[in-house]
A and B are shown apart, each in its own frame.
Chain A
Amino acid sequence: MATREPETGWHGEQSDVNHLRGRAFEATCLALTAFGLVSVLLLLLFVAKDAFRPLSADTGWLATYAATVLVPLAALGVYYYRLDEPAGEVAYVTSGLPVVGLLLTGGFAVLFIELLSVLEWFALLISLAVAGGLIVAHGRLRSKAALERLAVMFLAPILTVFGLPPTEFNWFVTDAAAALGLDFGLYYRVISLREAIMLLPFVPTDWAMLLLTLVLPVAGAAGWFVGQRRDSRRDSLAVVGITTVFAVLGVVAGPLLGIGTDIWLLLITFAILPLGVYVEGVVRRGEGVRGLAFPVIAVLGVAVGSVVTGVLGFAGPESWLDWGFLTSATSRTAADAGIYPAMVGSVMMIIVIVLTTFPVGVGAAIYLEEYAPSTGLMGKFVTLIEINIGNLAGVPSVVYGLLGLALFIRILNWPQGSVIVAGLAVGLLILPIVIISAQEAIRSVPDSLRQASYGMGATRWQTIRQVVLPEAIPGILTGTILALGRAIGETAPLLMIGAAASVRLAPNSFFDVASMMPRQIFTWSSELDPAFRHGVLAAGVVTLLAVLLVMNATAIVIRNRYQRTG
């Protein structure tokens, strides 16, 4: 440094500051950022083109719908973007809610068609409700006896749902006895409330049962939510009342319109009720009311378009992705192939994951955030758990498949490729993701709330249940939905546990061999016939991506609405 002249000016004084290099660098970075996005966007356009085949439609058909739907909606979109952003959000939610509602309706419809009858559902729900009532009643009557309450909490659901002893336990004992060469079984048992309801000589009609166990509870929850938000008992009663009236009206009018009563009730519960509550809220607040124009114009546009194309006789596209594709099983001929059984498999797999992974993951997150000591031997153990969860998130999915194969199929001898094995293997895969996202949600609850609760004399568990969890629920929900999206698309574990390449009949129980959407798509990808490769395969990919898109959009909306600022 001794040889260097002392600098007097500023760096780069002699030459002009080179802006060109900086600009070029910025442009390169932007181009590279866009590279991945644009190439995937192009691929998505290609696959959508293969799935829908818009060019197979008459030019007149395309022009009509462009004029009635595309142009007005695009104009509205530009208007919202430039001038009225709150209305844009309203438009986004009011268009999205029916889609999510339809997806849920479809899921429940599949459930009632394939997995359990309405009567079984009714019996299960009533028994669970009675068990819950017993627990609450015990808490009221003997509020001091906490240990006794524990026993009631465990025994009440078993008694009402499974009976004493539970049938499965009975089978287990009988099998074990048979293995020892004994003829021993528990022939006398207390049947559960659920079984008793199933044995009733007369039962209410399907729609009455659905009304009682699905529509009214959901309407009640919505009413409670509205009542809380507005501090008005009248409003919450109005929500419940109007929903019930609509449901009953639908039951009467449904057959005239050609909609089954069950479907109608599901639609009311999952699509119309949330939409109605949201729209009513928007109108009341008077903020972004113009956003409501978007779905109205979309529906009107489709209606006008269908009338015009019908009158003028324009033929629509011969899309691979149509109602037939969604409702039929796969086939050797491309024209008949469909994805329905695989969709049922995916829905049932999601049920397994939600029932197993979700509670464990959230429980683990609660422990790590609220209980975990940071010192001593337990502290070291907790650190180990934290590091381990991070590492598990990076284990390749195919290894989880191998774990599922070794544990559930080879050791526990569960049927190869069954829904439960698939659900558990994929559930283990997303467990670390659920834990990490739930931890983040719980961590973002401010400490002052906890301190306030402790200050009121609440115990740790009471604080968690009454203060922390309600605050953290939106965050946990967002993370879980994203993790479920990951689960729906996972294929490698399904291959390892031997999920069926394709099935003709949808699974009816959790121990049935099933195929799932990505597994079915993988099967199609090995077909050489171009009708499969550029048709059925594309339709399957678009279906899968559409489901994921809806789930991710829901998660993002929840995140944006409830995100803690600061």
Chain B
Amino acid sequence: MSTETPGPDITSRPSGRAARERMYRYVLLMCAATSILVTVSIVVLLARDAITFFTLVNPVNFFTGTEFLISRDVYGLLPLLSGTLLVTVISAVIALPTGLAAAVYLSEYASSRMRSVLKPGLEILAGIPTVVYGIFALVYVTPFLQSIGLPVNTFNILSASIMVGIMIIPMVSSLSEDAMSAVPDSLRQAGYGMGATKFEVTTGVVVPAAASGIFSSFILALSRAIGETMIVVVAAGSRPRMLNLSDPLANIYQGYQPMTAAMVQINSADTVSQLGFTSLFAIGLTLFVITFLLNLLSNRIAARYREEYE
């Protein structure tokens, strides 16, 4: 303000000003383009070492191998995938119904006072650091499970997955609630007009109408569970293990090492061969590709539902 000449000054040539405006535009564009740069550097830098790894280890062996032992240079991804799969499935069993129910309650039933308590509460769940969830699982949940008579080991996939599940509830509930709030009120009124009860309107009209948004939130939550690191590092143990298909229930009492935990372990190991170190990037790239595809899929589904009502 103080730098401007007083009064309108239309006659003077806007000599430097245009250049300055252009420069601001380019500087800001560069800020925005940083995000592309981040993605590109993730892909390039991860691929660089992953390619080194795959020239020495046959990719087929890597993706189908059933043993993962860095000390003997045996790299099979399946045991790590087993761990990741277990965490994802168990946490999904906990989080998806719970998150959906929370979304239904918040969007359809809750009074405004109830909402003002529950919504910040769920936000707090999302704000707790994951390492804290991991400590909860290890120090409090596992002893609790043991005390009620479950034969869980000190490090087990069950308590880790329970905490992962609780951690991703807010993600499911907030995105699903957004989807349900976006359902036009006219649909609900039409349901009531037909004589349907609130329960029937909720389960028969609102939830199906918001289905794509709900699915998109489910996928995003799964992707989050797959990428979750600290909870499984702290509480799920450090032993890569194949799924025991003959006795599925026994699996959940044992410790597993999901992909993310394996990455942390390889990186912090004292003695690790050059090949072992590059395997870090192969696992990381696999993880990145899986989560990236899931996120894209989730966006696609969410974009479809947006078109329906706006």
- The residue from A366, A398, A460 contacting B21, defined by CB atoms under 8 A apart: A460
Q: Is the CB of B15 within 8 A of A146?
A: yes
Interface mask (A475-498 → B, CB under 8 Å = 1, otherwise 0)? 000000010011011111001101
Question: Does A385 sit within 8 A of B, measured CB to CB?
Answer: yes
Q: Is the CB of A385 within 8 A of B36?
A: yes
Check: B263 CB closer than 8 A to any chain A CB.
yes
Docked CA distance A249–B198 (Å) = 66
In chain B, positions 13-38 with a C-beta closer than 8 Å to chain A are 15-17, 19-21, 23-25, 27-36, 38
Within A429-477, which residues are at the interface with B (CB < 8 Å)?
431-432, 435, 457, 459-461, 466
A350 at interface by CB-CB < 8 Å = no
B58 at the interface (CB under 8 A from A): no
B105 an interface residue at 8 Å Cβ cutoff?
Answer: yes
A43 to B, closest residue via Cβ: B136
Q: Is the CB of A37 within 8 A of B197?
A: no
A97 CB within 8 Å of chain B: no
Residue of B nearest to A153 (CB): B20
Residue of A nearest to B228 (CB): A396
Question: How far, in whole Å, are A522 and B16 apart by their CA atoms in the complex?
Answer: 55
Which residues from chain A contact B28 at a C-beta distance below 8 Å? 363-364, 366-367, 371
- Residue in chain A with minimal CB distance to B302: A390
Decide yes or no whether A140 CB sits under 8 A from chain B.
yes
Query: Which of B1-9, B74-82, B243-251 participates in binding chain A?
Result: B1-9
Selected from B32, B166, B196, the residue in CB contact (under 8 A) with A364 is: B32
B166 close to A406 (CB less than 8 A): no
Do A537 and B135 contact each other (CB < 8 Å), given the known contacts A150-B20, A388-B36? yes
State which residues 114-154 of B face A: CB under 8 Å.
118, 120-125, 127-132, 134-136, 138-141
* Shortest CB distance A557–B (Å): 12
Residue of A whose beta carbon sits closest to that of B1:
A466
> When chains A and B are docked, how far (Å) is the Cα of A222 from the Cα of B28?
30
A46 touches B140 (CB 8 A): yes
A529 near B: Cβ within 8 Å?
no
Place the interface of chain B in its size category: 35 or more
Closest to B173 in A: A33
- In the bound complex, CA of A47 to CA of B135 (Å): 10
Of B2, B19, B102, B122, which contacts A147 at CB under 8 A?
Answer: B19
Could you tell me if B226 and A146 are in contact, using CB atoms closer than 8 angstroms? no
Complex contact B132–A541 (CB within 8 A): yes
B264, CB-defined interface residue at 8 Å: yes
Question: Which residue among A362, A371, A486 has the maximum number of chain B CB atoms within 10 Å of its CB?
Answer: A371
Pairwise interchain contact A396-B226, C-beta atoms closer than 8 A: yes
Main secondary structure of the interface of A (DSSP, over half): helix
Q: What chain B residues lie within 8 Å of A411 (beta carbons)?
A: 45
Q: How far is the CA of A485 from the CA of B260 in the complex (A)?
A: 23
What is the minimal beta-carbon distance from A516 to any residue of chain B, in angstroms? Answer: 11
- Given A139-B3, A146-B19, A431-B38 in contact, is the A385-B130 Cβ separation under 8 Å? no
In the complex, A188→B45 CA distance in Å? 41
With a cutoff of 8 Å between Cβ atoms, the chain A residues found around residue B2 in the complex are 136, 139-140
Asked whether A457 lies within 8 Å of B264 as measured between CB atoms, the reply is no
Q: How long is the Cα–Cα vector from A165 to B231 in the complex, in angstroms?
A: 49
Instruction: Tell whether A35 is near chain B: CB-to-CB under 8 Å.
Output: yes
Whether a CB of chain A sits under 8 angstroms from the CB of B97 is: yes
Output the nearest chain A residue to B46 by Cβ-Cβ distance.
Answer: A402
Q: Across the two chains, which residue of chain A brings its CB closest to B123? A: A552
Asked if residues B21 and A556 are in contact (CB atoms below 8 Å), the reply is: no
Q: How far is the CB of A28 from chain B (nearest CB, A)?
A: 7
User: A544 near B: Cβ within 8 Å?
Assistant: yes
Interface centre among B36, B195, B229 (most CB of A within 10 A): B229
B63 located at the interface, meaning its Cβ lies under 8 Å from any Cβ of chain A in the complex: no
Tell me the smallest distance from the CB of A314 to a CB of chain B, in Å: 30
Using A21-B199, A364-B35, A537-B135 as known contacts, say yes or no to A30 and B109 having CB atoms under 8 A apart: yes
Q: Give a binary string over B208-240; 1 marks a CB under 8 Å from any A CB, 0 the rest.
A: 000000000000100110111110011000000
| B39 CB contacts on chain A under 8 angstroms | 388, 391-392
* Nearest CB of chain B from residue A376's CB, rounded to whole Å: 14
Taking a contact as CB atoms under 8 Å apart, the answer to whether B17 and A548 are in contact is: no
Which residue of chain A has its CB nearest to the CB of B292? A391
Q: Which residues of A contact B288 (CB under 8 A)?
A: 395-396, 399
Closest B residue to A18 by beta carbon equals: B197
Q: Which residues of B contact A384 (CB under 8 A)?
A: 36
Residue interface mask A516-556, B partner, CB < 8 A = 1: 00100110010000000110011001001100100010001
When distances are taken between beta carbons in the complex, the residues of chain B under 8 Å from A28 are 101
Q: Which of A9-17, A193-201, A285-293 contacts B (4 or more CB under 8 A)?
A: A9-17
Residues in B with CB closer than 8 Å to A537 are: 135, 139
Determine whether B295 belongs to the interface, using a CB cutoff of 8 Å to chain A: yes
Known interface pairs A144-B12, A364-B32. Does A37 touch B135 (Cβ–Cβ under 8 Å)? no
Give A363 to B138 CA distance when docked, in angstroms.
Answer: 42
**CB pair B31 A363 closer than 8 Å:** yes
Query: Which residues does chain A contribute within 8 Å of B197, judged by CB atoms?
Result: 12, 17-19, 21-22
Proximity string of chain A (364-377) to chain B, C-beta cutoff 8 Å, 1 when within and 0 when not: 10111001100000
Binds A, one of B64-72, B182-190, B279-287: B279-287
Complex contact A40–B267 (CB within 8 A): no
Q: Are A428 and B102 within 8 A (Cβ)?
A: no
Cα A364 to Cα B227 in complex, Å, equals: 26
Q: Does A84 contact B (CB under 8 A)?
A: no
Top 7 closest pairs, chain A to chain B, by CB: A396-B227, A489-B129, A146-B16, A363-B31, A22-B199, A147-B16, A32-B101
8 other A-B residue contacts (CB within 8 Å) besides A150-B16, A521-B135: A26-B109, A33-B122, A136-B2, A394-B227, A396-B287, A411-B45, A489-B129, A496-B264
Ordered by A's residue number, 23 sampled pairs between the chains whose C-beta atoms are within 8 Å are A17-B197, A19-B197, A28-B101, A29-B101, A33-B106, A36-B166, A146-B20, A363-B30, A392-B39, A394-B294, A394-B298, A396-B228, A398-B287, A406-B281, A460-B21, A486-B127, A489-B127, A491-B129, A492-B233, A495-B264, A495-B268, A541-B135, A556-B120
